[in-house]
Every structure is written in structure tokens, then in C-alpha cells.
Structure 1
Amino acid sequence: MANATSSSANAQHGLTDRLTRWARGLSGKSEDEPEPGPPARNANNSMMREINRRRQLYSDIGDFLFAHDLDLTPLNFSVALDYMTGANIGVEKAIKAVLMERGKITNGWVESVVAEQRADEVTPESLATMLDKVEENLAQFGGLVHESRNSAKDYGAALQEQAKGLADGENAAPVLSRLVNLTRSMVEKTRQVENQMRESQKQTQALKSSLESARRAAEHDHLTGLPNRRAFESVLKEELLLAQAQGEQISVAFCDIDHFKIINDTHGHDTGDRVLKFVAGLLAKVSNDRCHVARHGGEEFVMLFRGKTAPEACELVDGVRADLASRNLVNRSNGERMEKISFSAGVANVHAYEDPRAALKAADRALYLAKEHGRNRVYLAADAD
């Protein structure tokens, strides 16, 4: 009986061994490879927990984007990730605040928050630092060129000196040896200078790209794609100088979408953002190198017309106003037709005021007169006394 039990145990043990070897073969392990002990199992468990944590995070981000009907863009994903992980305190606070106020965020809101953060990053100090670095690299580049030229001159003089020895009948072997060493030294120095110049050029190119990105971030509205208020103020100065130099008329206009808060409250901020983009597109159609359009802030846009009198500018703006007012817009989220969308505007002659700011204030006053007298109209500001 004991022998039968022993045989059965041995047979079972043998079957276990065969099954173990078969499983190892499927996993790619050799027969001699030991089974993992507790430390390996702990490592595997830790890895699985990390994988599960990431899966849950991706799922939470997806749920967040879906709940707020946000587009699947890298920007939205990045903001959701910052919010879920707390990686960006500013984003986390902003989202919590808007959720308490509105209960939902929109694509446009995400763009505006990111734009504000980037605008904060692009400070005059940071731009000045970048410019200083570019100038430093350019100075270094110029120094390397100068050093390379001096080295070439020194090399030429040294060659001439050694060549004299050959002409004077000096033993050729040591002279040739010195020439070879001199040439090797020059080749090595040239290689070092080339490497330094190449590295300096790469750094300058990277800084140039950073400056261009910073300039775009600082001067463009990320929702509508139009220049922002900062960019417009720079253009106004430049265009005014051109108009004065060439004896041209120059006019400014403020345009403000009528009842925009009602549009947001009725149809949602996402639809409000699309209305902003649509109006921006209509205004941008009349822009060219002598007519500039920018988003001044909120639902307000500003325009500059060089070579146009105030009445002529008023006519152009009124044409855009009439075009918008004649359209039947549909809410894309539910397919319902929206109430008529319109804007009011005020126009002023820049030359009629002591400075551009005064002209802008006059256009702004004319805009609010248009609002007070029924909206969906363009008013011309009276010239200053």
C-alpha cells in the first residue's frame, strides 16, 4: 500500500514537473530558470498596479472630455491631465472655479485659459533675456569668424617661414616634419572652430524659433486666430506714422456683438465661442495690408483703416454688419435655428483727435450710443473740437 502511494505520488510529481516545463516553454523561460521568489512577485504586482493606475487615469480623462463635450485635441487632453493629476495648480483652480460657476467648460474656455498662461509666460523680461542670448550668440559667432581668419593668417605666415628653410637649402626632413605638424595643428583648430560655429548656429536657430513662438503667443488671440489688443496697439502706431508721412486718412472702429451674454446663457458657452469665431471671420474678410482687425477682448473687436475717411470706414463696417444680420445661424449642438445675431459699432477719424487713444475712446462712445439707440447699427463719432 505504501509502495502504491509512493508510486502515485511520484507519478503526480512527474506530471507536475512536465506541466511546469511545458508552461516555461510557452513563456520562453528555460527549464533551469528558477521560479520568481517573493521580491519578483512584489515587483510584478507593483508594475500591474502602475499599469492599472494609468488605465484608470486615461479612462478618467476620457470621461472628463466626454462629460464636457470637449474635442479630442492635444490641448484639451493636456488640460484634463493637469486637472486630474494636479500637475498644474493654476489650471486646477481655474477649472474648479468655472465648474462652480457654470458647471461645464468649453473648447473656447480651455483655449482662453491656456492663452492667458502663455501670455503670462511671455513677459517683457523673458523676451529681453531671449534677445540678449541671441545677441550673445551672434557676438560669439562673429568672434569665432574673426578667430578663424586670424588663425588662417598665422598659418599662412608660418608656412612661408618654413618654406624659406627649404629655399635656403636646409635639410628637408625636419622642415617637412614641422610642416606636417603645423598642418595637423591647423586642421585640428579648424575642426574645433567649425564645431563651435555649428553649435552656436544651432543655438541661435533654436532661440529664433522660441522668439517667433513667443511673439505669436503674445500677439494672437487663440480662440479666433485674430491679432489681440497688444498686437493692434503696435500696428496702430506703425500705421499712424505711415498715414502721417503719406498724408493719408486713418480711421478706427469698435464692434461689439449684441446681447452676447444672452447667447451664452441660452445656447451655452461653446456656441458662444463659435459665434465669436464666425463674427471674427466676417470682419477678417475685409482686412488687408491697409485694414487691420483684432479681438480687443470679450465680444469686442477693433478695426483700423488706413487711407479711408471715417464715413468710408463706417460704410465698410456697416456692410459687414448687414451681412451678419441677414444670416440665419443654426446651433450646431442641437440643430435649432438661433435668433438673429448682430453687432453694433462706432467709428472715429484718428486725425480729428490729439492722439490715437482719444480717437479710440471716441469710437467706443459712438459704439455705446449705437447700443443705446437700438443696437444692430453703426454710429460715426463727431470730430473733437
Structure 2
Amino acid sequence: MGYANAAFDLLKRSAIPPYPQFYELLYTYATGVNPSLNNRINAVFRSGVSPSTDLAEALYNEFLRSDLNERMSSVSERMHARIESVHDAIDAAMTTANAYSGSLQSATGDLERDLGGDAMRELASRLLFETRRMQDTNRELERKLEASRDDISALQRDLDDVRRESMLDPLTKIANRKSFDDGLADAIEEARQSGVPLCLMLVDIDHFKSFNDSYGHQTGDQVLRLVAMTLKSNIKGKDLAARYGGEEFVAILPSTDLKGAMIVAENIRKAIQAKELLKRSTNEKLGRITASFGVAGFKPSDNASSLIERADQCMYAAKRAGRNRVVSEDELIEITEMPAADVSAA
């Protein structure tokens, strides 16, 4: 309610219509979950420029609107229109070329006969006309092909943007499950061919369901974003952080052995634990987040499923051992021999 009241107050003070998208924009600003959006809006406030409906619409479209399907449809329509235009130009050029070829054949037959001066001039005039028409058609085709080249370059950029967006999790803005599946397949293939080490890290937020039930899904979403940001900021190079599903995250660590992967996982565990949650509206302290980690190394006999399965077993071993810890497959046998604790509220 504190965020809602703040959003409505900003709508009133800015004289922006309380349309749903503008409420969402300022509600998101009030929560502070999108730093880029907040920086932009704060800059507007500092500039002294009066907010307008157009400005609010532009900010909403830039930061919040999920228009992936619309953009895909737009790119498809533009591509179709451009291809049709090129086809029409090619058809016209072929028709003109066929007519020109026919005229040349006819002229060849005429030239084989004795022609008088008037007939020769008429033939030359006709060939000149057909040649100029052919030149005009070719120029038109060149113009359309040139325009198509520019359009196709722009379409390629749009398609690249859409593809990148389609590979991101919309909530956390890190790689989604599809991107992870593709990345893991590539990493396994590279490790198999080159012999370099490869590790997989699986991360699960401890007691997330209880946290979500106690403080609401909005706060739960902020926790997911926080963990995703922490995970992504603590890996580098060719490493890939992704949301695996629900409150589970995963990181692919190419060229990293098990010892190195354990160090990375421990650093991330400490970074997550160091962050204390605060409810902005009431300054109520909600406690700290912790997460359990499982780390497995690639073996020549592995495929994606077996590698994920071992990392998953390690992660659940960390849960059974008391949560908020990192377990590697080297430790798995030792951990699983300990008495199992209840992990139903994981």
C-alpha cells in the first residue's frame, strides 16, 4: 500500500493520467527495483522539466512494455513487404528483358534483309527506345535492391535485438531456461573437444516459499532480482548465469575446474548472505537471504542431463546439511551419509 500511495501521489503531482501503464511505471519507480528507470526519472525531476503524458509513455515503452511478439510480427511484416517489392521489381525486369530480347531477335532478322534508309532509321529508333526502357527498368531494380539492402540491414539489427530479448528471463533480466539449455550444450561440446574443464553450479534460495507467503509476491520478485543480479555480477568472461526455474538459478562455468568453481560459489553465497532486506515503506527489516549451492564438474561420459542431475544432487545435499552452504560432488558421499533433515520448506 505504501508503494501504491506513492505511485498515486506522483501521478497527481505530475498531472499524468492514472492509466494502468502509468500507474505501473510509477509503482515500479516507488519500489526501486529497476535502478535504470529510477535514474532516468530522477534526472527528469532534477531537470525541472514538467512530466508529460508523452514522456511517461516513452519511459513505459522503454523500460516496462513487453512487446516481443509485436516486434516479431512487425519485423516479419516488414521483411515480407520488402521481399514482395524485390520480387515485383525482378518480375518487371525479367518481363522487360524478355521483350528486349525479342526486339533484338526481330532486329537481327530485319538486318539480314536489305533495308532502305527510312527502314534502317526506324529500326534504330525502335532499338534505342527498347534499350532506354531496359535501362530505366534496370535502374529501378537497382534502386529497389539498394533500398532492400538498407532495410535488410535494419531488419537484421531488429531481429538480433528480438533474439537477445527472447533469451532473457523477463523478471530477472538474466538468461532464461532456453538460453541456458543452448549455452550448456555448446559448453559441453567445447569441453568434450578441447578437454578444458567445465563446471555447473545450481543455486536454490533457502525458504523462498515461506518468505514469499509472509511478505508477498512483490517482495519475492525483488528477492529473485537481487539474487540474479548478485549471481551475474560475480561471474565473468564466458560464464553464463541463468534462471533455471522458480527460485532456482544456474551458472555455467567454462574453463573452470571444481576447486575454482567452489571458490566462485562460496563468494556468491557470501555476497547473497551479506544483503539485508528492508521494506522501503515501513523500514521494516525482513532479514537476510541465504541460498544453497551444488557444484558438479563435467566428465567425458556426461551429457547435459547427467551433469545437471549431479549438480542438483549436490544442491539438495547442501539443503540436508543445513542450507546456506556449498556442496561439490566430491563432498556428496560424505554429506549424504549424514542424517537427513527436513527440506520440505526449501
TM-score scaled by length of structure 2: 0.62
**Which of 333, 351, 355 is residue 281 of structure 2 equivalent to?**
333
Within 1, Cα distance between the matches of 2:177 and 2:290?
22
Residue 266 (structure 1) aligns with: 214
Alignment CA distance shift 1:285-1:59 (3 Å) = closer
Q: 2:134 aligned to 183, 186, 189, which one?
A: 186
The 8 Å contact of residues 344 and 375 in structure 1, kept in 2 or not, is answered as: yes
Which residue of 2 is the match for residue 304 of structure 1?
Answer: 252
Q: Counterpart amino acid of 1:331?
A: K
- From 195, 208, 218, give the equivalent of 1:247: 195
Letter of the 1:185 partner, please give it.
R
Instruction: Name the CA distance, whole Å, in 1 between partners of 2:143 and 2:194.
Output: 50
Amino acid at match of 2:169: D
Check conservation: 1:353, 1:384, Cα contact below 8 A. Answer: no
Q: Distance in 2 between the 1:62 and 1:363 partners?
A: 41
| Equivalences for residues 206-225 of structure 1 within 5 A | 208=156, 211-212=159-160, 214-225=162-173
8 Å CA contact 1:349–1:383 kept in 2: the answer is no
2:185 corresponds to which residue? 237
Change (3 A) 1:197 1:352: closer
Correspondence list, 1:69-218, <5 A: 69=27, 137=83, 144=90, 151=97, 158=104, 170=117, 173-194=121-142, 197=145, 204=152, 208=156, 211-212=159-160, 214-218=162-166
Match of 1:342 among 283, 286, 290: 290
- Measure how far apart 1:190 and its partner are: 1.9
Q: How far 1:202 sits from its partner (Å)?
A: 7.3
Higher relative contact order (CA 8 A, sep 6+): 2
Q: Secondary structure at the match of 1:313?
A: helix
Rounded to whole Å, the distance in 1 between the matches of 2:245 and 2:265 is 18
Q: Which amino acid aligns with 2:292?
A: S
Partner Cα separation in structure 1 for residue 117 and residue 249 of structure 2: 85
Return 5+ residue gaps in structure 2 as ranges.
1-16, 31-63, 334-346
Paired with 1:355 and 1:61, the residues of 2 have a C-alpha distance of 47
Pair 1:169–1:317, CA change in 2 (3 A):
farther
Identity %: 27
Aligned residue in 2 for 1:25: none
Asked if the contact 2:202–2:251 (Cα under 8 Å) also holds between the matched residues in 1, the reply is yes
Which ranges in structure 1 are unaligned for 5 or more consecutive residues? 1-57, 73-110
Residue 324 of structure 1, CA deviation: 1.9
Distance change (3 Å), C-alpha of 1:256 and 1:383: closer
Task: Give 1:374's match in structure 2, choosing from 307, 311, 322.
Answer: 322
Which one-letter code corresponds to 1:220 in the other structure? L
Q: Report runs of 4+ in structure 1 exceeding 3 Å deviation.
A: 58-66, 68-72, 168-173, 194-214, 286-289, 382-385
Give the secondary-structure state (helix, strand or coil) at the position aligned to 1:301: strand
Instruction: Tell me by how many angstroms 1:272 deviates.
Output: 1.9
Contact 2:243 2:250 in 1 (8 A): yes
Cα pair 2:314 2:332 within 8 Å, conserved: no
Residue 288 (structure 1) aligns with = 236
Q: State the partner residue of 2:34.
A: none
CA positional deviation for 1:215: 2.6
**Aligned partners of 1:289 and 1:323: how far apart in 2?**
19
Question: How many residues in Structure 1 have an aligned counterpart in Structure 2?
Answer: 274
Cα distance in 2 for partners of 1:245, 1:297 equals 29
Q: Which residue of 200, 215, 226 maps to 2:174?
A: 226
TM-score, length-normalised on structure 1? 0.57
